[in-house]
Every structure is written in C-alpha cells, then in structure tokens.
Chains A and B, each alone.
Chain A
C-alpha cells in the first residue's frame, strides 16, 4: 500500500512538472515571436519599382530596399567586354560562394548585360562601397568597379571581389525583373504583390 501510494505521488509529480515545463515553453513562444520584424518592417521588404528610363552608361541610381542601399548601374560596351575576360583577378569568378538569384548566375551576374543591380553592402563588414566606373580611379590597374573605403575591398563591375582584399565573397545581387524596358522591380523575380509600393 505504501509503495503504491509512493509511485502514485511520483507519477503525479512527474506529470505536473513536465506539463508545467511544456506550458512554460509555450508561454515563451509569443514573447520570442514578438521580437521578429512586425508588419511595418515586412511592408518595407515588399518589392519596389524604379524608373530607369534616363539611366546612362557609367551612371548610378541608388534606392533603398529592405533598408539596404541598392545600386542600379549601366555598363558600357567596353566594360562588358572586360567582364567577359574574367581573368585573372576575381576570387570567386563563377559566384559559387556568393548570393545572387538563379537567373543572374552568369558572368555578368545580371539579367541584361548592360544593367547591373547590386546590394551595396560590402561582404566584409557591412560598409557601403563606392561606385567607381572610371578606369584607374582607385589605382593604376583599376578597370572600374566598386571600392569599399572602410577596409579597402575591391569589386569589379559585376560585383565580383578581387583577390588580396578582406571581403570574402562577391556583392549580393537582389531578385529583380523588368516589367517593361524602362522599369525595374526590385525584390521579386516576377510580378507579384506590390500593394504596399
């Protein structure tokens, strides 16, 4: 009898303590969840449309998407030819270790050869690189590209990182598409929800 009542108590103790633990875990959940980005933050992550009608070669349009600076640039014929060489400098020439949408996984890291869209955040420590399209504007071998003044990282005009600089990977390319030839939508691969625009 004594043994039986003891095991009953053990059982009840186990049930109450384990249920309490489960309850505490569930009670945690809403608090953890509440720290995630709210609807307002989510809305700024919605795609944005940019008019690129007047964009000339060697020019840059800077916009904000998800709070990040996005550069839209237009490359010249010479620059495109330069990119095709690929040799000898990029660290990750085929962008195997870098982030870009599937449809931009090519030598130019873009949908069109001339228009290049890139997240202007250095993959080293998050500074914003400067767009330097002119030849020899950073050093005498400079073929045009992005230069990060914080720690001297260098990227070519497809955002590919050069060797012997601190940045490990190429600049990130955001998802985008062209609904027509004068407009670019950043933040989506195809037409979708642009209600918050």
Chain B
C-alpha cells in the first residue's frame, strides 16, 4: 500500500503539496477569529455549488416556466424546499462572510505591502460575486427579478453614443425577455462561476506566496520553520489555525442552518416578499430596491441627482477599493497601532456603509436623500482623505518579531 502511495506521490505529490501549504505554512499566533471568515466563505461557496447543481435539475430558464418550476420544485420534489432555501440563504451568508472578511482586511491592514495583489484579487472576487448574485436574482423571474434587470440594464444607456445599442445587445431583445433570462442563466451557472473559481485559486496562491497577515502586523516568513525561541509566536497553520477555523465554520453553519430551517426568507431580507409575485411587465412595483448586500451601492446611485454621474459614482465606490493599498500611507498595518484619525475614519466608514444599506432599501424621500448624500460623502471621504490622515497622525510603534 505504501509502495503504491510512494509511486503515486512521485508522480502526483498531493501529500507533499498539503504538507507544504498546511503543515509547513507558518502564521503569527496573534491570528484571531477574524481570520476564519475566509474559511466560512469557502464553505458557503461549496454550499452554493452543490445546492446550485441540484436546483439546476429542476429549474426551467424560460419566462413562462421559471417561476413555476421553482414553486413545483419546492413543493413536489423531495427536499426541494431545502435545496432552494440552502441556495437562497447561502447567498446572503456568503456575502456576510465576505463583508466580515473584507472588514478584517481593513482592520488589520491586510491590503498593505506586500499584499496589494492579494487584496486586488479579492476585490475582483467580490465584484464577480456581485455579478453572480445579480444574475442569479434574475432567474426566479419574480417581479423584482424582472424590474431589477430592467433598471440595471438601463445603467448601460448612460454611456454616450453606444449605450442604447449596448443595452439592447446585452438583453438580446428590444425589451428584457426570455432571451435575456437565458443568457443570464448561462452567466450565472457557467461563465461567472468559472471565472470566480479561477480568481479564488489566484487569491489563495497569492496568499501563500506572501503569507498571512496578523493583528499585530509583524512580518512572518510563512515558509521557514521558526527558530526555537519563536515557536510560541509563529505557529503552523495545521493543526492549530485549522482547528480554530473548523470551530468557527461549525458555528457559522449552525447559524446558517438555523436560518434555513426557521426563517428561510429572513423576514423578506434574504428572499423578498415581492419577488414571490411572478414577473409582470405591465405593472412596476411601487418600490424597487436590491437585496440587502447590494443596497449601499443602490443608495449611492440614488444619492446623485444625475443619471450619468449616479452610475459613475456607483461604480467608483467599487473601483476605489482597488486603490486602497496606495491610498494608505501609514507606516503601520494594523489598527492596533494606527492613530486616532484612522480608527475614527474606519468607524465612520462602517457606519456609512450600514446607513447606506438602510437608505438603499427605504423609499427615497427628501429626508432620506439628504442623509444618503451625507453618508455617500463620508463613504468616499474615508478613501479620498486617507493619504492625508494616515500621514499626519501619530502611530504607536508596532512590535518586532523576536
């Protein structure tokens, strides 16, 4: 048996690969629970892939049957409801995990040199997730599916000269129709997932090249066995960190299943009530808003009183994330050693994201618009002013590894 194992190992070194990347991958012992969010996201991805495959067995991507095929699956297929709810709630949990994962990066400066590329590949994954979530949202062909598609495709029409043509090209018809549904289906189940798998691979490879960051912001050589005096500060990923990840993942799964079994629509936040009405091109719902995880961007869109500028600012709010590693001029990585200005700005930023999320879901009254604009300014302010406040504040001296 071991002979066969050796034979295979020489030709396909799986054990060696795992040893090098798990057992001989070293991180700082200050790594805490924030560092398990990526593991949760990974597990949620698996949930989405598996439940998605099974949904695919029953879903019919035509405007006539999309809505009813999902209803029939949930009512007539053994455990069809479970598979559908796993996918629906899984999407929201995936975003929760990713938002916490991104917050961790902001908190401990995981985007800073030498992890700029790691951060940027993560932003690409996040944008792909948005694309997948949006195209997936279209598939049930409920009222919100239809009207959200109409609204989002109209974003393209702001582009001068070619916008209208581009919108028609994307929807494959003069209006949003069965053709649009079919191609969004293809994007959702094949095209975008393939690209996201590629980028997740890149993200993990990039991580293992530079090594994991840590709350103390100390530099650790991820591939060198630590000297004896450092063995309590620099620890191997397996079995230590992985045991912590495992615990956090189980707790997250318990929460996830709790929602799936007891509040699968999560009071209309994860599965909106109005999307349980089949799409009707003749009747616009009186209030259109996206699912919670895209709500902040929608708020920014509405905050700007100009069609073109609104769309530009909405995209800018995402694009600006790419520049974060170069906007942060601080000599230290972690918030633990940054000054008051950075900490304050991060708090204001988080608050503005949450509030924008709220204002993106409620009707756009004057009061709401006023506050939406304030928080939009604060959102961008966090990034735009970053080169200034990270330079002028006084930081604490971060520890050295010894």
Q: List A residues at the B interface (Cβ < 8 Å).
A: 16, 30-31, 33-36, 38-40
Q: Which residue of B lies closest to A13 (CB)?
A: B239
Residues of chain B at interface, number, CB under 8 A: 13
**How far apart are A10's CB and chain B's nearest CB, in angstroms?**
12
B83 in contact with A34 (CB, 8 Å): yes
B344 interfacial contact with A, CB 8 Å: no
What are 19 A-B contacts with C-beta separation under 8 Å? A16-B246, A30-B79, A31-B50, A31-B54, A31-B79, A33-B78, A33-B79, A34-B57, A34-B77, A34-B79, A34-B80, A34-B83, A38-B72, A38-B76, A38-B78, A38-B80, A39-B76, A39-B77, A40-B72
CA distance A33 to B77 in the complex (A): 9
Cα distance A38–B58 when bound, in Å?
11
Q: Who on chain A is nearest to B72 by CB?
A: A40
Residues of chain B from 64 to 97 with CB closer than 8 A to chain A in the complex: 72, 75-80, 82-83
B72 touches A30 (CB 8 A): no
Q: A31-B54, A38-B72, A38-B77 are in contact. List 5 more A-B contacts (CB 8 A).
A: A31-B50, A31-B83, A33-B78, A34-B54, A35-B57
Within 8 A of A (CB), among B27-53: 50
Inter-chain contacts of B75 with A (CB < 8 A): 39
Name which residue of chain A comes closest to B247, CB basis. Answer: A16
Residues of chain B whose beta carbon lies under 8 Å from any beta carbon of chain A: 50, 54, 57, 72, 75-80, 82-83, 246
CA distance A36 to B76 in the complex (A): 11
Residues on A with C-beta less than 8 A from B83 are: 30-31, 34
Nearest-neighbor residue (CB-CB) of B86 within chain A: A30
Q: How far is the CA of A118 from the CA of B80 in the complex (A)?
A: 35
A35 to chain B, nearest CB (A): 7
Nearest CB to that of B53 among chain A residues? A31
Q: Looking at the assembled complex, report how far the CB atom of A9 sits from the nearest CB atom of chain B, in whole angstroms.
A: 9
Chain A residues with Cβ below 8 Å from B72 are 38, 40
Q: Nearest A residue to B51 by beta-carbon distance?
A: A31
Ranked nearest first, the 4 interchain pairs of A and B with the lowest CB-CB distance are A30-B79, A39-B76, A38-B77, A38-B76
- Bound complex: CA A39 to CA B78 (Å): 8
Which chain A residue has the least Cβ–Cβ distance from B50?
A: A31
Q: Separation in Å of the A1 CB from the closest CB of chain B?
A: 19
CA distance A16 to B249 in the complex (A): 13
Measured CA separation A31–B54 after assembly (Å): 7
Q: Which of A30, A33, A40 contacts B76 (CB 8 A)?
A: A40
- Is B82 touching A30 in the complex (CB atoms < 8 A)? yes
User: In the docked arrangement, what's the CA distance between A70 and B50, Å?
Assistant: 39
**Residues on the B chain within 8 Å of A31, using CB:** 50, 54, 79, 83
Tell me which residues across on chain B come within 8 A of A36, comparing CB atoms: 78
Residues of A close to B76: CB separation below 8 A? 38-40
B241 CB to nearest chain A CB (Å): 15
A34 touches B78 (CB 8 A): yes
Provide the bound-state CA to CA distance between A107 and B72, in Å: 46
Residues on B with C-beta less than 8 A from A30 are 78-79, 82-83
Please name all residues of chain A whose beta carbon is closer than 8 Å to the beta carbon of B246 when the two chains form the complex: 16
Complex Cα distance, B72 from A34, in Å, reads 13
The CA-CA distance from A35 to B83 in the complex, in Å, is 12
Residue among B54, B78, B80, B83 with most chain A CB within 10 A: B78
**Distance of A172 Cα from B198 Cα, bound (Å):** 53
Q: How far is the CA of A122 from the CA of B54 in the complex (A)?
A: 33
Chain B residues with CB under 8 Å of A34's CB are: 54, 57, 77-80, 83
CB B19 to nearest CB in A, in angstroms, measures 18
Bound complex: CA of A31 vs CA of B52, how far in Å? 11
Task: Report the Cα distance A35→B80, complex, angstroms.
Answer: 10
Q: Nearest chain B CB to A113's CB is how many angstroms away?
A: 42
- Cα A135 to Cα B50 in complex, Å, equals 58
A30 to B47, CA, bound (A): 13
CA distance A8 to B309 in the complex (A): 62
CB distance from B134 to the nearest CB of A (A): 26
With A and B bound together, what is the CA distance between A146 and B360 in angstroms? 71
Closest residue to B243 on the A side, CB-wise?
A: A16
Please, how many angstroms separate the alpha-carbon atoms of A36 and B57 in the complex?
12
Which residues of B have CB within 8 Å of A16?
A: 246
What CA separation (Å) do A35 and B72 show in the bound complex? Answer: 14
B261 to chain A, nearest CB (A): 12
Quote the shortest CB–CB distance from B180 to chain A (angstroms): 28
**CB-nearest residue of chain B to A40:** B76
Nearest B residue to A9, CB-CB: B239
Q: Which residues from B are CB-within-8-Å of A39?
A: 75-77
Q: Which residues of A contact B82 (CB under 8 A)?
A: 30
**Within the complex, what minimum Cβ distance (angstroms) separates B197 from chain A?**
21
Give every chain A residue within 8 A of B79 (Cβ-Cβ): 30-31, 33-34
